[in-house]
Amino acid sequence: MWILLLLPFIGLLWVPFYNFLEPALFGFPFFYWYQLAWVPISSLLIWLVYRRLPPDEAA
């Protein structure tokens, strides 16, 4: 489960992967909305990893 926490790092640190203007979403270039989309995705991944921890390690 801990490997899930690497996804935001890989997805956001590799800039050539998302350094584009198109496709735009609500007038925002891909560069911006891709980064903003990772905020809730990262929160969900952190929550999933936290929920999978045993109760003594989660506190």
Its pTM stands at: 0.77
Domain count, the chain: 1
pLDDT in tens, 18-54: 888 889 888 889 999 999 999 999 999 999 999 888 8
The span from the first CA to the last CA of the chain, in angstroms, equals 17
- 26 DSSP assignment: T
What is the H or E stretch that residue 50 is in?
A: helix 30-52
- Which domain range does residue 27 map to? 2-58
| Model confidence at 59: pLDDT above 80 | no
Q: Which amino acid is at 5?
A: L
pLDDT tier at 58, thresholds 50, 70, 90 = low
Matching residue, tokens 């929920």: 51
- Cβ contacts of residue 17 below 8 Å, gap of 6+? 11
